[in-house]
Each structure stands twice: as C-alpha cells, then as structure tokens.
Amino acid sequence: MSKYKGKKVLIVGCGTSGTAVAKYLVKQGARVMITDTKQRTELSEVLKEIGDMKIEFEFGGHQERSFLGAELIIVSPGINTVNHQLVQAAKAKGTPVTSEIELAVSELEQPLIAITGTNGKSTVTMMAGEMFKSDNKPCFVGGNLGTPLIEYVNAGQPGQVAVTELSSYQLELTDKMVPAVAIFTNIDQDHLDRYGSMENYIAAKKRLLRVCDRNSWVVLNYDDPVLQGFANETVGKVVWFTMKNPMQVGGEFAEKFFGAYYDSAKNVIVAKVTGKEEVYTLDQFKLFGEHNKQNLMASLCAARVMGVSQQAIQNMIISYKGLAHRLEFVRKKDGVYFFNDSKATNIQSVQAALTSYKRSPIILIAGGKDKNMEFAPLGPLVKQKVKLLILVGEAKEKINRSLGDFAETYLVGTFEEAVLMSFQKSRNGDIILLSPGCSSQDMFRDFEERGDYFKKLVNQL
Ligand code: ADP
C-alpha cells in the first residue's frame, strides 16, 4: 500500500510541477488540496491538465487552516519558503515540507543525473539525454526543463536513467537525493532578487554537492573559480571539464587529470575517464561558442562514466542541432543575420553570446525584468563587439546607466520598436541579436513567448 494513502497533502502552487505531483498523489490515494494566490481563471490552462481528478482547490490566496491541517506540504519552486509565514508555521508544528523533485527522487529506482549551474543546464541536460538515446538507452530528460520528474515516476519509469535539470529553486528543499552524477556547469550572478546575495545563491546550488556520496560522480567546470573550490568540499569522485590543456596547467592537475579538455589546435575533445585517452572530433559539431564546447564536455563526462559508448557520443556530436531560444539562428534578410537568444536572462549568458560571434558587428537588443543584476561587467565586451545597443523593458534605464557609454544606445518603448529599429539601423553583414540579460515577465509570460514573438516580428520584416 502506498505510504501516501489517505494522507492529507497540501500542494502550494498550481503550476506544471504542482499539478504533476497532484496527479501522482491522487493515484496513490492521498487527499490532495492545491492552493494558489492566483484566481481560477488565470490558471485555466494548467487546470485542463488535471481534468476531473479528485482534488480540492483553494484559489485567490492561502488559508492558514489549509497549512496547519496538512500532514505533508509540497512547495512549488517558484515560492520562496524562507519568508513564507504559513509554510514556516506548518514547519514549526512539525509538518514535513518538501518539493516535487525530492518526492520524485525518493520513488526513483534508476540512477539520477542531476544538472545545475547558472547557465547551460538545459543544453547539458538535452545533450546528455541525446547521448544515452544515441546508445539505444532510453532515458528520462526533463526536470526544470520540460516534463517534471514526478510524471516519469507516475508513468512507471520507462527508461534506464533520469537526466534531470535542477534549478537553484528546486534545490532549496533538497537534502535526501543521492545522484549517480551531479553536473555543475558554472556559477555567476543570477536570481539576486530572490537570494539577496551571491553567498545565498551559491549555498542553494551547493545543496546538490552536499547530497552526493562517495559513489557519486561530481562533474565540475575547472574554468570556473567558484566550482574549482567545490572539489574540496565533496566526498564524491570529481570529474573535470576545461577549455585548458591540463599539461599547460601542470602539477598534480596534469598528472592525475580525470575528465575532458578541449584541444583548440586540433578542434577535438580529449577525454580521460575510462583509463585510456579518447578523442572526439568537433569538425561536424553545429553549435558555436566556447560555452557550448564546455556544455558538450560536461555531458560527455557524465554519459561516459555512466557507460555510454564512445561511438554513440561521437554520433550525437554530429547529429545534435541545439535548442530553440539559445543563440538560435532565425533568418538572413538583406545581408543581416538575426539570432534569438531569449533564454539569456543573466549577464554570463549575454557574455557567452557576444563572445561567440567572431567577426561581424552586433546590434544587441537587451532589457526586460531586472533580477537585481549588476550590468557593468558587460561594459568592455559591449565596447568591443556591439555597434548599437537597443534597450527595452523595465530595466532599460538601469542598463543604460551601466552600459550606455560603451556603445551608441537607444531606449525604446515597445518590443516591436526594438526589432524595427534594429533592422533600420543595420548594414550588410551585421548581426542582430536578442540577448536580453533580463527575465521576460515584464512583457511576456516566459522566455519562450518572448523568443517566439521576436521570431515572428523578424519573419514579418
Ligand atoms: P539554463 O537552463 O541554465 O538557463 P540554457 O542551456 O537554457 O541554460 O542556456 C541559457 C542561456 O545561457 C542561453 O542564452 C545560452 O546561449 C547561454 N549558455 C548556455 N550554456 C552556457 C554556458 N556554459 N556558459 C554561459 N552561457 C551559456
């Protein structure tokens, strides 16, 4: 009999993971209530997912008695539990408070590959998943990206491994999962509106490090100073990936190197994770930018230590096409190239975008909802690469104060205006890049809606 049978469970947040966990728990015989501050009308899309399942709803706000009467509380990642009075009151009473991910992992019977970091999570998750599939090893690919893990559990776990992207929000309530592999892509400023400081943000990411045990593989980016330090704080088996040749780094790192590095002279990845040296050629790898080579190495290390064959990985490198909204080529019109990088919602991702283009001058469209970011670090790169900066959205004044002196800058009122102006001011050979450095919620539902709208406007030009 399920341990949830008859249990009074309160799910806080009626979003994708909240409704997925509700479906699972109803099937287990739990008595489920979902509470959300939004009105029913605002949630009609997600509610369609649930159909006529036996679930109680509380919309337009939370009642104290719902929290105090629950035997288990599951909080959605969008909700900050630290300052949440009702969650804290229930906790004080001894009620367990957990998350969809933690609940899913406790039921997972397969190895978990957990991916986190500031940027590259979705790309690494997809790439690693494709490597397993390329080796005829069916797997789950999802988490923060796409399908919640609990849906996979609910479907009877029809694969061999769970490749799961985890955001810092999802990690906040994590303390029990033991990943077979934990991948950390990089750490840079992000979500400071929620965390207040880099220390708090890093602490949330570090939760994934803390849950690793001696058998866990911990895949770390050697080129990231914060992540270099993570190696001393884990009992897991460290696997490095780096753009530097370990021989040039020297010392113990070179002698005992375990992981993958990029050899720029030969355009190959050299991996040492199986006792012998393996070489992967990138001549046919379609994604550009150094960051995508890092992403590829991170996924490769994870897949290889989990037994995916070298040939399957090489095949995936040749066939992989990349995800939409990440440096996605949209169109060439009158000699001008348009790229949609709507998923770039922080400084590091904009840096990665700007450094990825080697030649042409860039017209950069940026702005959106600020996450309490410091934009100044982009200054030198904007000066070097950007011929025109078009700013839009809530953060445009703030970005202008930090970056306006580094390129010719225009502040515009609407997104349509931004796209039109970018094209009017362009010349043959220019790149027009939407890489906002901000989240989208000032004007759009999410980064996908923003990117799709950008593509629509560009295709109408
Ligand atoms: P995440 O899931 O962490 O948001 P994505 O793979 O969706 O990561 O990419 C988000 C943004 O960051 C995109 O603009 C992408 O081009 C950029 N990006 C991807 N990988 C990296 C990386 N390793 N370093 C810096 N930026 C990256």
Q: What are phi and psi of 377, to 5 degrees?
A: -55, -15
> In this structure, what DSSP letter does residue 58 have?
E
Q: What is the pLDDT of residue 173?
A: 86
Whether residue 234 is found in the same domain as residue 359: no
Residue 453: inside a domain: yes
Residue 211: inside a domain: yes
Cα of 2 vs centre of ligand 1, distance in Å, is: 39
Whether residue 91 is found in the same domain as residue 106: no
Ligand 1 atom closest to the Cα of residue 124 is 6
Q: Given 95, 113, 137, which residue is the final one in a domain?
A: 95
Whether the per-residue pLDDT at 127 is higher than 90: the answer is yes
Q: What is the pTM of this model?
A: 0.96
Whether residue 124 is found in the same domain as residue 264: yes
Extended strands (E) in 155-250: 161-165, 181-184, 217-221, 237-242
Confidence of residue 326 (pLDDT cuts 50, 70, 90): very high
CATH code of 57's domain:
3.40.50.720
Residue 3: inside a domain: no
Does the CB atom of residue 450 touch ligand 1 within 6 A? no
Does the CB atom of residue 295 touch ligand 1 within 6 A? yes
Does the CB atom of residue 356 touch ligand 1 within 6 A? no
Cα of 56 vs centre of ligand 1, distance in Å, is: 38
Q: Which of 115, 123, 294, 373 to mutate to test ligand 1, by most ligand atoms within 8 A of the CB atom?
A: 123
Whether the per-residue pLDDT at 178 is higher than 80: the answer is yes
Cα of 123 vs centre of ligand 1, distance in Å, is: 7
Q: Which of 168, 191, 343, 371 to mutate to test ligand 1, by most ligand atoms within 8 A of the CB atom?
A: 343
SS3 per residue for 237-297: EEEEEECCCHHHHCHHHHHCCCEEEEECCCCEEEEECCCCCEEEECCCCCCCCHHHHHHHH
Q: What is the pLDDT of residue 30?
A: 97
Does the CB atom of residue 327 touch ligand 1 within 6 A? yes
Residue 1: inside a domain: no
Whether residue 197 is found in the same domain as residue 265: yes
Cα of 429 vs centre of ligand 1, distance in Å, is: 25
Interatomic CA distance for residues 39 and 202, integer angstroms: 34
Whether the per-residue pLDDT at 182 is higher than 90: the answer is yes
Ligand 1 atom closest to the Cα of residue 327 is 16
Cα of 323 vs centre of ligand 1, distance in Å, is: 10
Whether the per-residue pLDDT at 359 is higher than 80: the answer is no
Residue 79: inside a domain: yes
Q: What is the pLDDT of residue 295?
A: 98
Percent of the chain with pLDDT over 70: 100
Interatomic CA distance for residues 291 and 431, integer angstroms: 19
Whether residue 91 is found in the same domain as residue 111: no
What's the CA angle centered on 244, arms 241 and 250, to 5 degrees? Answer: 105
Dump pLDDT digits (tens) for 3-25: 999 999 999 999 999 999 999 99
Whether residue 298 is found in the same domain as residue 371: no
Dump pLDDT digits (tens) for 203-233: 989 999 999 999 999 999 999 999 999 999 9
Higher pLDDT among residues 385 and 78, named by residue? 385
Cα of 284 vs centre of ligand 1, distance in Å, is: 21
Dump pLDDT digits (tens) for 28-84: 999 999 999 999 999 988 888 888 889 999 999 999 999 999 999 999 988 988 889
Ligand 1 atom closest to the Cα of residue 349 is 26
Q: Whose C-alpha lies nearest to ligand 1, atom 21?
A: 120
Higher pLDDT among residues 275 and 29, named by residue? 29
Quote the mean pLDDT of the chain: 95
Residue 207: inside a domain: yes
Does the CB atom of residue 170 touch ligand 1 within 6 A? no
Whether residue 110 is found in the same domain as residue 127: yes
Q: Given 74, 95, 116, which residue is the final one in a domain?
A: 95
Residue 2: inside a domain: no
Q: Whose C-alpha lies nearest to ligand 1, atom 19?
A: 120
Does the CB atom of residue 221 touch ligand 1 within 6 A? no
Q: What is the pLDDT of residue 440?
A: 97
Higher pLDDT among residues 173 and 133, named by residue? 133
Q: Given 80, 95, 110, which residue is the final one in a domain?
A: 95
Positive or negative torsion for Cα 226, 228, 229, 231: positive
Whether residue 257 is found in the same domain as residue 352: no
Query: Based on the structure, what is the number of domains in the chain?
Result: 3
Q: Whose C-alpha lies nearest to ligand 1, atom 8?
A: 120
Give strand pairing partners of 97: 73
Confidence of residue 189 (pLDDT cuts 50, 70, 90): confident
Dump pLDDT digits (tens) for 129-146: 999 999 999 999 999 988
The residue segments making up the domain with residue 347 are: 328-460
Whether residue 68 is found in the same domain as residue 124: no
CATH code of 338's domain:
3.90.190.20
Whether residue 273 is found in the same domain as residue 363: no
Ligand 1 atom closest to the Cα of residue 298 is 23
Q: Whose C-alpha lies nearest to ligand 1, atom 11?
A: 344
Ligand 1 atom closest to the Cα of residue 126 is 6
Which residues, other chains included, contact 233 with Cβ-Cβ below 8 Å and sequence gap of 6+? 206, 209
Percent of the chain with pLDDT over 90: 89
CATH code of 145's domain:
3.40.1190.10
Interatomic CA distance for residues 433 and 362, integer angstroms: 7
Whether residue 123 is found in the same domain as residue 248: yes
Q: Are residues 21 and 100 in contact, defined by beta-carbon separation less than 8 angstroms?
A: yes
Whether residue 36 is found in the same domain as residue 142: no
Residue 149: inside a domain: yes
Cα of 267 vs centre of ligand 1, distance in Å, is: 21
Cα of 81 vs centre of ligand 1, distance in Å, is: 27
Q: Which of 119, 141, 185, 371 to mutate to test ligand 1, by most ligand atoms within 8 A of the CB atom?
A: 119
Q: What is the pLDDT of residue 410?
A: 98
Does the CB atom of residue 349 touch ligand 1 within 6 A? yes
Whether the per-residue pLDDT at 150 is higher than 80: the answer is yes
Q: Whose C-alpha lies nearest to ligand 1, atom 15?
A: 326
